[in-house]
Structure 1
């Protein structure tokens, strides 16, 4: 095996692993391969260059790039004399994770909190209604208590998300281990 083949085999192993795990970001393995293509590219690439290297349709390629742009995993680049859009990997994996985690979890926490708060209000009205049977009232009170525990969880989750957005989390888990921690 020559050196170029060894290099390509090494890259292929990483590409396969990363593309299979891109579902963590809510994307398909083919978009993961697109991301890896840009990661290993030695220059910004156009849609046509990516299409040629991956053998995907231009429509699929465009959708994949748009998805990666939305996830802040790639960004547009500029090169003098090139009129087509060029793309490169956003080379800050920590910020990508913070952005993705914050966006996805904040949306879920907000949606669930709103649903829980509305439900708690409805259940309180039900428990205060003198016509509500005692058995239903008791079950509603249990539900209210359980849902209030969920609200505590979503409050904690929102504070965790805040720590990602402010980067306060890095005070507790620094990006690089300091020398004292390694020894």
Structure 2
């Protein structure tokens, strides 16, 4: 029969594995999910060596994972008087993590695709003036331009969505439930 401590640890492990699966769905490695999960339940900031002891990951993997989690704002560097090693702790505000994570992805998507979209639109528009363009090719160019116009509407909408997340406006429409302090 399991004691209370074992039951607590089992509940934590279940959630940590769920986080690992979730992070994998979003393109992160399961080990990063486990690392975040371990840090999520740890009450004090941790050093890389402490994390390594709990995860069994190599120092290189640990360092790479912490850097990636830091870039995503899921982990923060902490300073503590008298401690010389770098300390890290997990972001516990999952609403903030969600906003930061998706805003970064959306902004990257918008930047990458709008630049390419504008270039494709310019090239196709210039092609419409080509005297060697056949009627079928002209129809294809016009169809493609129409599709690009629809894509532009999507990126304009996505920019507004990202801004509503970053500004907190989204929470007027989808409020954050009351949280325990």
Q: TM-score, normalised by structure 1?
A: 0.91
Question: Residues 115-154 of structure 1: matches in 2 within 5 Å?
Answer: 115-154=116-155
> Does the 8 Å CA contact 1:74/1:90 hold for their aligned counterparts?
yes
Question: Residues 75-154 of structure 1: matches in 2 within 5 Å?
Answer: 75-154=76-155
**Matched residue SS, 1:88:** strand
For 1:181, the equivalent position in structure 2 comes to none
Report the Cα distance in structure 2 between the residues aligned to 1:52 and 1:58, rounded to whole angstroms: 10
For 2:69, the equivalent position in structure 1 comes to 68
For 2:39, the equivalent position in structure 1 comes to 38
Deviation of 1:129 after TM superposition, in Å, equals 2.1
**Matched residue SS, 1:128:** coil
Report the Cα distance in structure 2 between the residues aligned to 1:159 and 1:42, rounded to whole angstroms: 37
Deviation of 1:73 after TM superposition, in Å, equals 0.5
**Matched residue SS, 2:63:** helix
Q: Gapped runs of 5+ residues in structure 2?
A: none
Report the Cα distance in structure 1 between the residues aligned to 2:110 and 2:79, rounded to whole angstroms: 37
Deviation of 1:88 after TM superposition, in Å, equals 0.8
Deviates more, 1:20-29 or 1:56-65: 20-29
Deviation of 1:91 after TM superposition, in Å, equals 2.1
Q: Gapped runs of 5+ residues in structure 1?
A: 178-183
The count of corresponding residues between Structure 1 and Structure 2 is 177
Q: Which runs of 4+ in 1 moved over 3 A?
A: none
For 1:167, the equivalent position in structure 2 comes to 168
Q: Could you list the per-position Cα deviations for residues 47-89 of structure 1 after superposition, in whole angstroms to 9, with x for gaps in the alignment?
A: 1111111111111111111111111011112222211111111
What is the CA RMSD across the aligned residues, in angstroms? 1.3
